[in-house]
Structures are given as structure tokens and as C-alpha cells.
Structure 1
Amino acid sequence: MDEQQAMKRAEQIIRQAVDGMSPKPTLKRVGPVPVGACLADDHSSGGRQQVSLTYQLTGVPGTQAKNLVRQARDAWVKKGYKFQSSDADWSDPFPTVSMRTDRDDFWMDAITGVVDKEKGEGLASIGVTSPCFTPSAASSADPASFQRVPLPADEQAERRALGHSSRIYDVLRLQHAPAREGEGLATYQEGGDTYAHHAWSTQPAGSDKTVQALERAQAYFESAGWAVRHVPTATGAPALLARNAADGTVSQLAPSVDGTLRVGVTTPVVGPGVTTA
């Protein structure tokens, strides 16, 4: 996939949700240029990119926000797309739908924001995020002219860690902060085992946003088959510890006293003479 293909697919997913809506909303793009660096490569030399598109659904009464979100959900379900965890809580005046495409792993959500809580009026928006991709002029070349070369075991582990890290970022929906000392991608040894580790932090967020982000992360982990538990912290809010039984990856999401959320993803390197813990 290249940038043009990712943009085209993201726009297609948006149109699939919007084209059949009634009343018909007007799309208003939120934010700057939709192509940016892949978060998982932010502190490394990966150079991959992601497409992220967000549109507000304007030009309709605020009382229709919930209805528009439901219609987006219905349109995506008809296409065979999957829920990230479960369907929205439709008893909530302002529900949120989080889904993904099964074939190519684009993630999308339909969200209602509160405009007037007493009147039950909101503002609906739709967002789509692509998986990370490597821009390449050769992407349109004949695939038969390329051979897949196996990556070294440590590089495979690094890519797994970065991939998990990117998905966690998608789920949290919090902006990442500039790299601190000790953050980034690294490989280390502990006893006879070798691990790839990716660490990063979010920007400071209020306690409510942090709690909501952790709830989304837990729902994602559980839906993806991770084992999840809570660990007490000095902040009073428990950290989230999750383990992926399929590849042995451990992820820790820990609230900090400065209001940031610190994320660490550790993946065992599996190769000749290397064992997992």
C-alpha cells in the first residue's frame, strides 16, 4: 500500500458510512494534512506513514447526532466490518462506535460530542486510520519481480513491538509527546533472553480522559485475546498490564503524576539459540 491507495481506501470507508444517511450531512474535515508519520516509528528510523482522516457531520440538527452514528454503524456492519470490542451502548445519549475492516485492517469510529447536554444535542464525527505503510516508488511495480527476504529475528521482534505500539496509540486517542530520555525503540538482554522494547508517552490529559483512554485500551486488549490485569500505582489510578499469548508481548500503560500516560511494549526475540520467557 502507498499513500494514494491508503487515502483512497480511507475516503471509501467514510463514504460507505455517509452516502446513505438521512438527513444528509455535510462533511467538514477536522485537522491538517491527513498523512503523517506512523507513531510506531516516531522514535526510530522506520520512516513509515499513516493516513488519518476525521470529518464532522454538519448541516443537520444536533438532535440527529446519535442517529447518524447508528447509521454509520449499520452501513459498516453491512460491509462485514468488525467491532473493536462490542457495539455501542445505545442507552447512552452520546454513544461511540469503534470498528475495523477485517481484510486490510483500517480502523474507524463514529463519535458524538456533546453540544447541549440538557437538550440532548450533539455533534457527530467520523474518523478512519490506516495501518502503517512504507512509501515507495516501487509500490506499483510487478509484485512478481520481488522476493520476500526473511528479516533477522531481532528486527522481526522490533516490528512486532512497533505494530502493537501503533495499535495502542490508535485506541488511546491521546496525542503522543516528544521523546523523553530512555524512550524509543531498543533491544536488550535479560538473563538468556532477548527483547525488543518500545517506550513512549502521551501528552498530559485530564483524569477523565485518561480513565476513558485506559477503558478503551482494556476493551481492545480483551477483544484481541490479551490477558489483562491492573497494577496499583502511586497516582491512585491503576496501570494496565496486558500479555499477548500468541507472541509473548507484554504491554504496560501507566498513568504518571504529571498527567501523561506512559506506554511500554516488550516483545521477546525468537531465533536460533534464543528462547522466550
Structure 2
Amino acid sequence: MKLSRWMPIAALLTMTLGVTACGSGKTAGTSDGTPTKQAMMDEKQATDRAEEVVQEAVAGMSPKPTLRRTGLRPLGACVADEHSAGERVQVRLTYQLTGVPGQDAKKLVRQARDAWVERGYKFQSSDGDWTDPFPSVSMRTVPDDFWMTALTGVLDKAKQEGLAAISVTSPCFEAEGSTTADPASFRQTDSDHQAENRAREHSSRVYDALRVPHGPGGEGEGLATYRENGDVFAHHAWSTRPIEEETAVRALGRARVHFESSGWAVRHVPAATGASGILARNPDDGSVAHLAPAADGTLRVGVTTPAARRV
């Protein structure tokens, strides 16, 4: 089964690597991975710069991949804001690097890292684990503070075949500064609230199954609503307290039992550290849950639930 049938890769990037949320003009990071800078820009400027960062990564790649745009609508509400009311927005671009053998995915991720390092961009935490057949790396530009991730999604673990992807996220900026942003597009509807309720309900059941204390809420965690054309998704994210790897393995085992007994389709996915994560899909409502061990010892949980399509 291919990755795209499980989850929009943009959501997978967000949960797996923990992008930080934008704040009030500072550049310190938080737990969800979008930049924490209030930027003076509009949608076109943010999009052009994000595209530039992508092209910087792929320009010298060998073999040469084909970029395939994926994920949700590029302009969305600022992930750091608790309510998606449209006061602040940000641009997020995600591309799959297609048209190359699956065993070259790791090579492409490393080449992206090298291109960004050459331009003086900074690592978010540490370099990728290049002994891992499916590595990932998270960095930010200097000085404009765009955040980017290159990762390898698993296609065939036994053959070590993957699919490389790149995601770039702008700092948050005021919606009024965008030439095409429509604040009304971020307003909540009954369908949005229903999706949020389902996402929170699934997330609560995951919490019950893990039996690990909830960590303090960080910026960027909680509910967010994403839109692509007529499609709407609710996303609920939270983290546990830091725990030992053995405890995390047992907790993830309990979560897997919960998913399987409830009829979810389940697969393991490699994590940045420690035990493998879990990716599960609910066949009834299309929700996708992703549980990922993080480098700080926490388990990060995200549930994405589709709402009714707009007309």
C-alpha cells in the first residue's frame, strides 16, 4: 500500500517531525514545527520564497527527480493560533520527489540537506541519522526563518525503498497582507465542528490506550483546520510527557491493540528515534492517526479527520 493512500504527506510531515508554531515576533521554536516569527510579507512573497527553498534543494540532485505537489491548500491559518479565525496565515508547500528508484530516496534527502547546509541554513535540532535507511532532516533558513523538512516515506521496508518529500513552511503573517487570502475561507462551519469532534474523540481513545500522562500543552498543539479546494480536514495534535523507550514500546503496543480491535488498518512507520511509530486509518470516517516517538522522549499524537466536502 502506498503512503498517499494513508495520509496527506503534509500532515505526515507535520506529525512526524514536529514543526513549530509562529509566535509574536520571536524566532524561538515550539512543538508543531512552523516558524515562530511574525513576518512582513504577503502570500505571493511567502510562496515565492518557499518555492525558492525547494528549488535550492533539488537543483543539483542526481538522479533528477520530478516534483509532484501534494498536501493541502498552500495558504492556511497559522498553526500556532488556537482558533483558525484567519487573522494570521502561513504558506506551506509540500512536494514528493518522484520518477527515481525507491532506493535513491535516502540519497535525495541527503542531497537536500547538503544544499541547505551550503547556503548557511541551520538545523532545528541535529543532523539526520544517515545510518537509517529512511532518514529525515529538519532545518530553517537564515535570516528569514522559513522552516523546511526533507524526509523519506517508506514504500517497501524490506527492500529499503522509500519516497522522498520536501516541505517548506513560511513564518506566520497577517491575512490582510495577503493579496489573495479570503478570511471567510477560514471560518468554522457545522461540518468543521463535526470533524473536530470526531478527531478529538479518536484522540481521546488513543490517550486511554497509551496510558501515559499527557504533557503540558505546547504552542501549535490542539486543534487546527486545513482546507484544499473543497476538502476540509480537522487535525488534533498533542504530546505525552517524556518517557523511557521501553515504556514507549509498551504504550505503542497498547495503542496498536486498540486500533486493530476497533477495525482500524494499522502499519508501523520508522521514527526519528527509538521505537517505530504507528500510522492507522479508520475505514468508517477516513480518519488517520499517527503516533511518533520524538527525540525528546515524548510520544507525539496527531489525528486528522476529513469533513464533508464543500460545494
TM-score calculated relative to the size of structure 2: 0.49
1:1-12 equivalence runs, <5 A:
1-12=41-52
Deviation at 1:46, TM superposition (A): 5.8
1:198-209, aligned counterparts within 5 Å? Answer: 200-201=222-223, 203=236, 207=255, 208-209=277-278
RMSD: 3.3
What is the CA distance between 1:114 and its match in structure 2? 1.1
Q: 1:92 to 1:177 in 2, by over 3 A?
A: farther
For residue 85 of structure 1, the aligned residue among 125, 135, 148 is 125
Secondary structure of 1:64's counterpart equals: helix
In structure 2, C-alpha distance between the alignment counterparts of 1:101 and 1:30, rounded to whole Å: 22
Distance (Å, rounded) in 1 between the aligned partners of 2:168 and 2:174: 18
Shift in CA distance, 130/118, structure 1 to aligned 2, threshold 3 Å: same
Q: Deviations over 1:141-185 (max 9, x none)?
A: xxxxxxxxxxxxxxxxxxxxxxxxxxxxxxxxxxx94697xxxxx
- Mapping for residues 197-276 of structure 1, pairs under 5 Å: 200-201=222-223, 203=236, 207=255, 208-209=277-278, 212=292, 215=294, 218=296
Which of 10, 15, 18 is the aligned partner of 2:58?
18
Query: Quick one: which amino acid aligns to residue 51 of structure 1?
Result: V
TM alignment of 1:79-118, pairs within 5 A: 79-118=119-158
- Higher-Rg structure is 1
Deviation of 1:135 after TM superposition, in Å, equals: 3.0
Higher relative contact order (CA 8 A, sep 6+): 2
Residues of 1 paired with 2:59 and 2:221: CA distance? Answer: 40
Q: Which runs of 5+ in 2 are unaligned?
A: 1-40, 180-194, 201-218, 224-234, 239-251, 256-276, 279-289, 304-311
Offset at residue 119 of structure 1 (A): 1.2
3-state secondary structure, aligned to 1:92? coil
* CA–CA distance in structure 2, aligned partners of residues 126 and 28 of structure 1: 10
Cα 1:22/1:49, change in 2 over 3 Å: same
- Cα distance in 1 between the residues matched to 2:139 and 2:237: 26
Aligned match for 2:97, one of 57, 72, 82: 57
Q: Is the 8 A contact 2:42 2:178 kept in 1?
A: no
- Provide the secondary structure at the position in 2 that maps to 1:97: strand
For residues 178 and 76 of structure 2, the distance between their equivalents in structure 1, rounded to whole angstroms, comes to 20
Counterpart position of 2:164 = 124
Q: Look up the match of 1:39.
A: 79
Q: Percent identity?
A: 58
Looking at structure 1, the residues matched to 135 and 127 of structure 2 have their Cα atoms a distance apart, in angstroms, of 9
CA shift, 1:32, in A, is 3.3
The yes-or-no answer on 1:29 pairing with 2:69 is yes
1:41 is displaced (CA, Å) by 2.7
In structure 2, the CA distance between the partners of 1:53 and 1:198, relative to structure 1 (3 Å rule), is closer
